[in-house]
Structures are given as C-alpha cells and as structure tokens.
C-alpha cells in the first residue's frame, strides 16, 4: 500500500485547508504516526500551523504561480493530490480571474510540470456539479480545470467530485451553528437548495483508496453522503445539535440577490456572493451511489456524527462564557 509506505512521497497541494489537514492526519496515522514521505504545499503560512503538530511532516510555503515553484514543490514525488479550491472570485468572463488562477491555470501548470518531470499519478479534487454549462462561474471553472488535466494525456488521473464536506472544524455546519449562537433569527438564502453532504472521513477514505488502487486512474467519481437535504434542513439541524437553534427566516430570491450584491461590496471576502446563489440554483446531488472502489461501503450521514462535534462546540462555548463570567466577577471584587 502506497499510503502506509514512508518511502512513497505523497504531495498534498492546497493541504493547509479543512480537507488537506484531515488527509495529512490520516496519512500520518496510516504510517504509524510518522509524517515521513508526506509533503504539504500551502500558498500561505497562516493556515499551516495546525499541521506542525503532525510528527515529521514536511511543509512548503509557495505561491505556486510559476512552474519553477511547482517543480520545486513536486520534486521526487510519486503521488500528487491537488486540493486547491476557492469559493469566491471577482467577476469575469467566462469566469472570474481568481477562479481562473486557482481552478484552471494552476492545474494546467501542475500537469506541465509533472509531464516534464516524468510524474504521472495525480488525484484532483474538483466539485460535484462541475460542468461547462453550469450556472455559476465556480462550477464552470472547476470543469475547465478538469478538462485541462484530461487533455494533458500523460497523466494517470483520478478526479473526485465531492458535494459539500462536513465534519469537525468545517466551515459549513459550524458556520450555521455559530450564526445561530449569536443571532435571534437566522436569515437564510436559497432555503430549498439541495445538497448531499459528505463526511470528511469518507472523502479522505476515497482519496486514500485512489492512492492505493491504480485501477481508479482515468476515472471521475462523484462523492456524496447518504442523505439529500435542503439548506433549510441543514441549518435547522446545525442549530439543533449545537443546542442554539433559532427561528429560520427564508429570504426570497430578490432579497437574497440584493444581500449578495451588498456583501460583495464590503471589504474582505464576502460571506455570500451572486455566484454562490447561482451554484445553489442547481441541485448538488450525485447521480448514484459511490463506486465500491472508493472503499466506502456505508457512507456516514450528518445525523450520525454532527451531534457529537457540534455538541462539543456548544460545550466549549458554555465553558468560555462561564470562564468569562468568573473573570468579570473577580475583577468586580
């Protein structure tokens, strides 16, 4: 098995995010607690800190904007995993420039560097719903990145298309729980949008199965959980399991669009964009069950694990409030 062989160098590009951290931790576990042969490539230093607790793992910080930088990062690799993905971009045709860089140009550069270096095995994590005719720039750019890799020709390429990913530390269920912990009412756009969330542990199993099974090369796999849920249901259960459920106010499309326009003009990364609304207009649902080659016989549903990690978030929040209250009492004395 390549996953548990420390002499097999596995490169995780975009490895400092939610999925990358979980993948790195799983590989270290498979290698008996050693990070030897695992290299995480991150475009920025801030998010790599949690990875530094993993023993022996190699972390490289690089903008990856030039092929020479990518060549340095991929040196001596046997398996390359590309996890780079962003949810927001400035507007543009046929998609925004930020999407173009992260989802299209970067994969194309990776393919060229791998070809020159004689590297072939690439696992590319895309997105469920990626299509040249998709309603959003995000999904169209994801499809364009897939096409660039397939056209490269020389790669032993596997493409994974996950639905939205949930689990401890996610920016999905935890976001809805956090918002309900501070707001009296949760305003919700596209409440009827449908998703088929996949548990982070299952997605990582899919990736590691692809590493160990060469017969997955040349294939595109959809990755989704067992349950199809509306966004309203997801927000409801996030608040319920975090013990902070609030009334949910479903916003009409016109008001959601206006809210997105306003948020796009605010400084920093917007919480909501018009392109997000366009993505949500298309059901994020798989066409069938996951392929057995991905090693997931019984996908984990939201209700099986969310009560545990969201409940812990609630417990931590209560502990923080109590500590703050005690500290204030001591100051008042």
Look at residue 325 in the predicted model and tell me its pLDDT: 47
pLDDT band at 222; cut points 50, 70, 90: very high
Averaged pLDDT score across all residues of the chain: 93
Look at residue 326 in the predicted model and tell me its pLDDT: 47
Note the pTM of the prediction, 2 decimals. 0.93
Least confident residue range of 39-53, 233-247, 269-283: 39-53
Helices (H) and strands (E) in the chain, counts: 11, 13
> Residue 106 pLDDT > 90, yes or no?
yes
Q: How far is CA 279 from CA 74, 111, 164, 284, in A?
A: 32, 27, 12, 8
Question: pLDDT by residue (tens digit) across 110-121?
Answer: 999 999 999 999
Which is more confidently placed, 37 or 320? 37
Look at residue 324 in the predicted model and tell me its pLDDT: 53
Least confident residue range of 52-61, 65-74, 183-192: 52-61
Cis peptide before 21 (omega within 30 of 0): no
Average of pLDDT values for 227-238?
98
CA 252 to CA 165: how far, in whole Å? Answer: 26
Residue 259 DSSP SS3: helix
| % pLDDT > 70, the chain | 93
CA 49 to CA 218: how far, in whole Å? Answer: 34
Least confident residue range of 65-74, 86-95, 273-282, 286-295: 86-95
Tokens of 227: 């349950």
Question: pLDDT by residue (tens digit) across 256-312?
Answer: 999 999 999 988 888 899 999 999 999 999 999 999 999 999 999 999 999 999 988
Distance, C-alpha 259 to centroid of its chain: 24
Q: Are 133 and 144 in contact (CB under 8 A)?
A: no
Q: Are 200 and 165 in contact (CB under 8 A)?
A: yes
List of residues 6+ apart from 28 with CB closer than 8 A: 34, 35, 38, 54, 55, 56, 57
> Residue 322 pLDDT > 80, yes or no?
no
């Amino acid at each position: 098995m390549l996953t548990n062989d420390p002499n097999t160098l596995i490169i995780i590009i975009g490895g400092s995010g939610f999925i990358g951290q979980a993948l790195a931790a799983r590989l270290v576990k498979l290698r008996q607690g050693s990070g030897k042969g695992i290299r995480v490539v991150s475009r920025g230093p801030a998010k790599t800190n949690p990875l530094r607790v993993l023993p022996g793992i190699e972390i490289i910080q690089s903008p990856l904007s030039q092929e020479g930088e990518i060549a340095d990062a991929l040196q001596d690799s046997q398996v390359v995993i590309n996890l780079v993905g962003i949810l927001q971009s400035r507007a543009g045709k046929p998609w925004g420039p930020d999407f173009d860089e992260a989802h299209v140009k970067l994969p194309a550069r990776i393919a060229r560097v791998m070809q020159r270096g004689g590297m072939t095995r690439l696992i590319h994590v895309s997105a469920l719903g990626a299509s040249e005719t998709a309603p959003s720039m995000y999904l169209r750019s994801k499809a364009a990145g897939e096409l660039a890799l397939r056209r490269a020709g020389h790669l032993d390429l596997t493409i994974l298309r996950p639905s939205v990913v949930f689990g401890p530390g996610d920016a999905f269920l935890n976001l809805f729980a956090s918002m309900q912990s501070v707001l009296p009412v949760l305003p919700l756009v596209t409440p009827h949008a449908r998703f088929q969330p996949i548990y982070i542990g299952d997605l990582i199993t899919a990736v590691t199965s692809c590493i160990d099974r060469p017969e997955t090369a040349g294939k595109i796999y959809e990755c989704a959980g067992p349950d199809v849920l509306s966004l309203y249901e997801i927000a409801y259960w996030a608040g319920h399991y975090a013990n902070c459920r609030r009334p949910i106010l479903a916003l009409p499309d016109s008001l959601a669009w206006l809210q997105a326009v306003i948020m796009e003009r605010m400084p920093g990364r917007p919480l909501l964009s018009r392109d997000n609304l366009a993505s949500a207009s298309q059901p994020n649902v798989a066409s069938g069950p996951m392929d057995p080659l991905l090693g997931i016989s019984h996908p984990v549903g939201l209700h099986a694990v969310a009560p545990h990690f969201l409940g812990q978030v609630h417990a931590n929040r209560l502990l923080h409030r109590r500590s703050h209250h005690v500290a204030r009492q001591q100051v008042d004395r």
